[in-house]
Amino acid sequence: MNFTPELPFDGGRVRPLTYDDVDALFEIYQHPEIPGQHAPDNKDNLTRMVDLSVQMAATQRGMMWLLEVGDEGSREVQGMVSAYDWQPSQLRTMLRVDGLPQLSSEHRAAALNTCLEFMASKYHLRNFGYQWIAGQDEAIKTLLENCGFTLSATLRDGWRTGTESFADVAQFYKLLDVAKPVPGRLGEQDNPGQNLDKSFSGSAVNNGGGEA
């Protein structure tokens, strides 16, 4: 079953994680963007991350994409996009982008918007959050504002960066002004579940349900 889609954006794509991506993930986390985040010294946990990416998407707890820049045949991994703290009943989730030094602001924003729009259309999420940690690149705050996020609160010393050191957290939110979906009976809406390979469009015959 497929729970995380491949999504194109202008200049690249995001796609599900696979075990072949462990080396690429290891390289991404050798360049931590968040203060206090330590670079891993082995790849064992990153293998587990691939398993968790499937489990989280299947149970609507989160979603992870690898971010690739370039055209088919010349794609380069430059980061990853994560959705976490997913709360389906409240139609909300948090987002995060981790990138290599060469990831441009344009590609970072395009990937972020693409994943946000997918989760809004597929799962009807309306409330998206993003945390900027003091010490990160200041340009990320401008990027978030250009993507429609608004600085809503600052958590003083809300992020631990060391044994006795802390950093402020700037809390950004983007609220979509879209009506909540109207519940319907099973089969009335396309793809009501999280499995991207399953569709309920058309007749019962087309979906293995037999004659009505």
Mean pLDDT to the nearest integer, 83-98: 94
The three-state DSSP-derived secondary structure of the chain is CCCCCCEEECCEEEECCCHHHHHHHHHHCCCCCCCCCCCCCCCHHHHHHHHHHHHHHHCCCCEEEEEEECCCCCCEEEEEEEEEEEEHHHCEEEEEEEECCCCCHHHHHHHHHHHHHHHHHHHCCCEEEEEEEECECCHHHHHHHHCCCEEEEEEEEEEECCCCCEEEEEEEEEECCCCCCCCCCCCCCCCCCCCCCCCCCCCCHHHCCCCC
- What percent of the chain stands above pLDDT 90? 74
Q: Per-residue confidence at 42, pLDDT binned at 50, 70, 90?
A: confident
* pLDDT(4) > 80: yes
Q: What pLDDT sits at residue 184?
A: 66
Please give the domain boundaries of the chain with CATH numbers for all domains. 7-129 (3.40.630.30)
- In tens, the pLDDT along 111-145 reads 999 999 999 999 999 999 999 999 999 999 999 99
Q: What pLDDT sits at residue 135?
A: 94
